Amino acid sequence: MEDRKLSKFLSLVLRHAPERFGLKLDPFGWAAIDDVLRAKPSVTRESLLRVVADNDKQRFAISEDGKRIRANQGHSVKVALDLESEEPPAKLFHGTVERFLPAIREKGLKSMKRHHVHLSHDVETATKVARRRGEPVILTVDAATMHANGLTFFRSKNGVWLTDKVASKYIIFPGK
C-alpha cells in the first residue's frame, strides 16, 4: 500500500473506527502492531514503521517496547491520551471557512466530532488545516486570557494545541 494511503488507513483504524477492522484500542488508544498487520494483510511491518517515522505531522507513535501503535491526536473514539496541561503561547490560531463563521460567532469553537478544539501555533499551519475545507479564514484565539481565566490547554506529542472549547469572546475574527 502506498504511504499516503497507509497513513489514512492508520488514522481511520487508530482514531475513528478500530471495530471496523476487528480491533480494540486500550484505554490510552494503543493497538498491538501485530493486530493492525493482521487486519490489513497488504501492510508490511516495515512500511508501517516507515509511515510512523516519516509522517509529515507525526500523527502516530510507537510504544517504548516497540509492540504497539497509537495516534497522537485527532480521535473521535474515546481514549485517554495522558496529556499534561501546558501554558499556551499568548495567541493561537484556528483555520476554518466562511460557512462556519455564523455558528462559531454564536457558539464559539466546539470540538465537534473530536475530543478537543484543535489550535495551531502559527498562521501557516492554521491555513493548511483550513484549506482542507475551502478558502481559509484564520481566527486568532486569545489563549493568554483563556489561560489566565483558568481554562486548560494541552499540547499533543505532534505539537497541536488542544482545548475543550473556545468561547466567542476569546476569538478575534478577521476584519473585526
Long-range CB contacts for residues 39-42, cutoff 8 Å, separation at least 24: 39/13, 40/1, 40/9, 42/1
Task: In angstroms, give the least distance from the CB of 42 to ligand HQG.
Answer: 22
User: Of 91 and 114, which has the nearer Cβ to ligand HQG?
Assistant: 114
Task: In angstroms, give the least distance from the CB of 100 to ligand HQG.
Answer: 4
- Binding-site ranges for ligand HQG (CB under 6 A): 57, 59, 74, 96, 100, 103-104, 107, 109-110, 112-114, 118, 129, 133, 160
User: Of 70 and 118, which has the nearer Cβ to ligand HQG?
Assistant: 118
The rounded distance, in Å, linking the Cα atoms of 172 and 94 is 10
Of 79, 63, 69, the C-alpha closest to 29 is: 79
Task: In angstroms, give the least distance from the CB of 135 to ligand HQG.
Answer: 12
Which amino acid, one-letter code, is at 16? H
- Interior angle at CA 15, CA 167 and CA 96, nearest 5: 35
User: Of 34 and 122, which has the nearer Cβ to ligand HQG?
Assistant: 122
Task: In angstroms, give the least distance from the CB of 41 to ligand HQG.
Answer: 25
User: Of 65 and 161, which has the nearer Cβ to ligand HQG?
Assistant: 161
User: Of 102 and 175, which has the nearer Cβ to ligand HQG?
Assistant: 102
Q: Is 125 helix (H, G, I), strand (E, B) or coil?
A: helix
Task: In angstroms, give the least distance from the CB of 147 to ligand HQG.
Answer: 20
